[in-house]
Structure 1
Amino acid sequence: MSDRIGRAKEKARHEVDRARGRAKELAGRLSGDERLEAEGRTDRARADLRKAWRSVRERVRGIGDSLRKDRS
């Protein structure tokens, strides 16, 4: 049960990071601050990468679970 809660917290944290990055990007674009805009893009890309990595981990975990069930 706690593993499920941990995954939900991790997912929420990534979504918050992605939204924060989007906000920085928009603020930079509106203010003309190229550095802030680039920082926002970087933050969003980092959040997207973490999300993709989490997806890969879950798929590998599922494959491992299915292999264990087949052997029982």
Structure 2
Amino acid sequence: MNKHQIKGMTNRATGEIKQQVGRLTGDSSTVARGQATEAKGRLQQGLGDAKEAVRHKERKVEEREIDREVSRRSGR
């Protein structure tokens, strides 16, 4: 888990809470701010997810390169 995923989850939760408070108090601007915060969180979390996917792919490529080098050196 990376910082973007954590910030995203935090903003999503904060946005949901703001929306609930806004609905309970009848404050449409608080609801709107909550929706914006939640949307920001979704984007942050998506960015974090994408970064994790890239890191995972990079690790797989590095592992394959290491395996090839070991095989080459051992004469396989």
How many aligned residue pairs are there? 59
**TM-score scaled by length of structure 2:** 0.71
Structure 1 portions without partners, runs of 5+: 1-10
- Residue 30 of structure 1 deviates from its aligned partner by 1.0
- Amino acid in structure 2 at the alignment position of 1:47: G
Which structure has more RCO (C-alpha within 8 Å, separation ≥ 6)? 2
Q: Does 1:40 align with 2:41?
A: yes
CA distance in 2, matches of 1:71, 1:31: 59
Stretches of 4+ moved more than 2 A in 1?
none
Aligned position for 2:50 = 49
- Residue 17 of structure 1 deviates from its aligned partner by 2.2
Structure 2 portions without partners, runs of 5+: 20-33
- Residue 21 of structure 1 deviates from its aligned partner by 0.8
**TM-score scaled by length of structure 1:** 0.75
